[in-house]
Structure 1
Amino acid sequence: MRNETRVAFNGFTKQIALLNSISAASEKFTVTPSVQQKLETAIQESSSFLRLINVIGVDEKDGESILLGVGGTVAGRTNTTATARSPRDVSSLNSDTYSCKKTDFDTAIPYALLDSWAKFPDFQTRLSGAIIERQALDRIMIGWNGTSAAATTDRVANPLLQDVNIGWLQKYRTKAPARVMSSGKVAGKVTIGPTGDYKTLDGLVYDAIQLLDPWHRKRPDLVVIVDRNLLHSKFLANIEKAADNENELAAARIIANGTLGGLKIVDAPFFIDGAVMVTTLSNLSIYFQTGARRRMTKDEPERDRIADYQSSNEDYVIEDFGLGALIENIQEAA
């Protein structure tokens, strides 16, 4: 790296050391709880989707989901001359458990890129932002695509980080299979069209709502998270009315303002192909263990790069399984 880059990078590592009350950031250290919370807030704020869900610090590595889910109704009346009133436990019977697993977020940045940033006064912000943004995107990718937590992950075999942790959809498949539909009249697929399981995508979403607990089915904050490709036939005519160079903008506007089965559409990054999920965004959580983030930032001249090694213990949690449903393997009828 160039000399001015060296000065800027040394300032970056000295700031990390100062914030965490350590002698040098080039040695592995535990991020202080206050700095960890600031990092977590920055990661969440870097993604519009993460800002809509819960990102929560927990003290224990394992435990029960912590947000209060009301597992049923509480209103009623008791003839107290005959019996005492009995308050209903509002903690949901459909709540998830969590087990925070160590996840490495190791980032390498080549000297050439650092040299191009060194002339800017916000060098430290740019470098921090690049590291934070990738962690945010990876968390979303794992949340939708994660199916296992391998001891050693394989990025080539699992390009969508399927083996890094168990995500929200896999939690439904294993812990609430009655709320998952993956087959219709034809095994292994749910079809849409004149001869399919459902005539329209709207009809499929209406039916998916029935998989929720009765007291959740008319909640005003229900949304439908949907694979964008499934919207193609429903909104194709409207999108094609726009000029070619406006198609993408038209698609984004239609999705932002559109509904399916009466529910607002959410276009979530990295959501799986051929699927829809009905839930509330507040039903999706990422838990991280406080005091368990480790970090080391150092120069690696043998690779012409700097490296930022970080790890965090975390898990993907469904707060109330009765507040969601997943329909997958959706295809157009032949």
Structure 2
Amino acid sequence: MFNEFLDLVAARYGIDPNVLRLGQSFNVNPTEAAELAGNIQQQSDFLSKINVIGVVNVKGRKIFGATEKAITGRKQNGRHLASIEASENTYELHETDTGVLIPWEYFDNLAGLGVDRLMAGIAQFVNQQTALDMCQIGWFGERVSPTTSDKELKDVNIGWLKLLETKRPANVYKGKGSSGQEKIKIYGADAEFSCLDELALDLRQGLDPRHQNRNDLVFLVGRELAAKESKIISKQHGLKPTERAALGSKTLLGSFGGMEGLTPPNFPAKGAVVTTLENLSIYYQKTSVRRSLRNDEDKKGYVNSYYRNEGYVVEDYGLMTAIKADNVEFGEDE
């Protein structure tokens, strides 16, 4: 059955099946690479709403990078032109290797459903986990290590929040207190923010003035913040726990500061961000994508690998604000 599976994969990518049988990796052409990236993107509703883009170079200018200022005006005896600021308008990609060992037992169970179902099942399993990993790195990524080991994937790549903190530190609110001891108190007596609506409005006002009145802004909120808000709202309205569970947090919460509230996959539990979904991007180098599928006798399974150069991009830092999730503390319920 494994050879039949390899034949299908070879036909899918237009390569010689013997390349796979020999355990060799193969280049994926840009068209197939884009389709593969699209298939992974569709495994997550959040990823499907942001940009996942194939680029030519490992380093370069952002695709949707902003001018970082207004571009309309007038010049007497000439033409008004705004320049693109290079300081915040570049990206860099890094080696990214997604690989998984599929145990023979798992493979054989799927094989019992037929080779077509087998191929679809493995693709869904791998693509879904890859999508979750991409979200995890986007929110928690802090550095690029030669060899990765962090369970939260902080060392795979530099994610959106770390990019914002590095490039626009003023746009990441750390709270009150001495340096390194800051705290953001939400809810309860003497809270800095008594509810998420106040927090959302504060973050919105931290955007560059030209972005503050946009109608496509979203408020990304962590599950613990959303759950706390849900509990408070349900208590105010006298809802029982069963009624609150039936409605769900999303129904109870609605919008914040005039913005839609969303909780993306693997988002920091006490985190909050204001931006637009189109301001967040993941770039991959079109010509760097490689795949391999091989049997590993020693590990008793089949190795599925997806290699590429990849990077995370905040298109316009002035269009994103956030809080430092690790600094958030909840006050006592009033």
TM-score, L = length of structure 1: 0.88
- Which position in structure 2 is the counterpart of 1:184? 176
Runs of at least 5 residues in structure 2 that lack an aligned partner in the other structure: none
CA 145–248 in structure 1, closer or farther in 2 if over 3 Å, else same: farther
**Are 2:62 and 2:90, in contact at CA under 8 Å, matched by a contact in 1?**
yes
Partners of 1:96 and 1:70 lie apart in 2 by 8
The within-5 A match list for 1:153-172 is 153-154=148-149, 158-172=150-164
Partners of 2:86 and 2:292 lie apart in 1 by 41
One of 145, 156, 161 as aligned partner of 2:140:
145
Give 1:262 deviation, angstroms. 2.1
- Which position in structure 1 is the counterpart of 2:100? 107
Give 1:248 deviation, angstroms. 6.6
CA 290–248 in structure 1, closer or farther in 2 if over 3 Å, else same: farther
- Which position in structure 2 is the counterpart of 1:4? none
Post-superposition Cα deviations, 1:217-269, rounded to whole Å, max 9, x if no partner, equal: 010000111111112332215557366397176224335xx112221101111
Partners of 1:230 and 1:251 lie apart in 2 by 10
- 1:84 paired with 2:78, answer yes
Partners of 2:110 and 2:122 lie apart in 1 by 8
- Where 2:162 maps in the other structure, the secondary structure is helix
**Are 2:143 and 2:156, in contact at CA under 8 Å, matched by a contact in 1?**
yes
TM-score, L = length of structure 2: 0.88
Give 1:97 deviation, angstroms. 2.1
Partners of 2:61 and 2:200 lie apart in 1 by 30
Runs of at least 5 residues in structure 1 that lack an aligned partner in the other structure: 1-6
- Where 1:326 maps in the other structure, the secondary structure is strand
* Residue range with higher mean Cα deviation, 134-143 or 59-68: 59-68
- Which position in structure 2 is the counterpart of 1:303? 299
The within-5 A match list for 1:195-234 is 195-234=190-229
Post-superposition Cα deviations, 1:149-185, rounded to whole Å, max 9, x if no partner, equal: 111111xxx2211111110000011111011111225
Partners of 1:92 and 1:249 lie apart in 2 by 46
Partners of 1:269 and 1:165 lie apart in 2 by 17
Give 1:94 deviation, angstroms. 7.1
Give 1:142 deviation, angstroms. 0.4
**Are 1:179 and 1:325, in contact at CA under 8 Å, matched by a contact in 2?**
yes
- Which position in structure 2 is the counterpart of 1:129? 124
Partners of 1:205 and 1:180 lie apart in 2 by 13
- Which position in structure 2 is the counterpart of 1:50? 47
- 1:64 paired with 2:61, answer yes
Partners of 1:268 and 1:249 lie apart in 2 by 19
Amino acid corresponding to residue 97 of structure 1 in structure 2? T
Partners of 2:74 and 2:308 lie apart in 1 by 48
CA RMSD of aligned residues (A): 2.2
* Residue range with higher mean Cα deviation, 280-289 or 62-71: 62-71
- Which position in structure 2 is the counterpart of 1:277? 273
Post-superposition Cα deviations, 1:189-242, rounded to whole Å, max 9, x if no partner, equal: 111233122233221221111211101001000011111111233221555736
- Which position in structure 2 is the counterpart of 1:74? 71
* Residue range with higher mean Cα deviation, 56-65 or 240-249: 240-249
* Residue range with higher mean Cα deviation, 14-23 or 264-273: 14-23
- Which position in structure 1 is the counterpart of 2:10? 17
Amino acid corresponding to residue 279 of structure 2 in structure 1? N
Partners of 2:137 and 2:19 lie apart in 1 by 32
**Are 2:64 and 2:315, in contact at CA under 8 Å, matched by a contact in 1?**
yes
Partners of 1:110 and 1:71 lie apart in 2 by 50
Partners of 2:209 and 2:198 lie apart in 1 by 18
Amino acid corresponding to residue 97 of structure 2 in structure 1? D
**Are 2:138 and 2:312, in contact at CA under 8 Å, matched by a contact in 1?**
yes
Task: State how many pairs are aligned.
Answer: 318
